[in-house]
Amino acid sequence: MSNLTFTMVKPEAVEAGNAGAILNKIEKSGFRIVALKKVLLTKERAGEFYEVHKERPFYAELVDYMSSGPIIAALLEKDNAVLDFRELIGATDPSVAAKGTIRAEFAESKAKNAVHGSDSDDNANIEADFHFTNGERF
């Protein structure tokens, strides 16, 4: 069944000029871009997005990083989108991410790991609503 996942190309990957290559890899892997935008998250918005990690030791670093430069947010459609996208991006830590994955190719570190991917259908919908109105989805 066709469903949705949400991604962000993170600030260091946008800054490095890797957004086009990453989006190309995503499309070539069978995902359809439903919505797309480049946006600079305020600290407050980044903090809200990653609120589930509020108690983790890296939360402040994560919020600073995700608001340090523009991100590219995208809503993606494919059969089995959430799980297939997690497979395409690879492990959180690029040093253990499988060869050929986006993080293995483009991530700098466990913190600056190039892309975000939703971890469930429910979170994909919450994250999509956080970034996109219905009128921005095609």
DSSP string, the chain: -EEEEEEEE-HHHHHTT-HHHHHHHHHHTT-EEEEEEEE---HHHHHHHTGGGTTSTTHHHHHHHHTSS-EEEEEEEEETHHHHHHHHH--SSTTTSPTTSHHHHH--SSSS-SEEE-SSHHHHHHHHHHH--GGG--
Q: Select the binding partner of residue 58 from Mg ion, ligand ATP, none (C-beta < 5 to 8 A, by kind).
A: ligand ATP
x/- track of binding to ligand ATP for residues 14-53 (CB under 6 A):
---------------------------------------x
Residue 113, interface with ligand ATP (CB under 6 A)? yes
Rounded least distance, CB 123 to ligand ATP, Å: 9
Residue 131 annotated in active site: no
Closest separation between CB of residue 127 and ligand ATP, Å?
9
**Residue 110 interacting with ligand ATP (CB under 6 A):** yes
Lay out the site mask for Mg ion across 102-131 (x = CB under 5 A, - = otherwise): -----------------x------------
Answer for the pair 7, 117: CB distance below 8 angstroms, yes or no: yes
Catalytic residues: 116
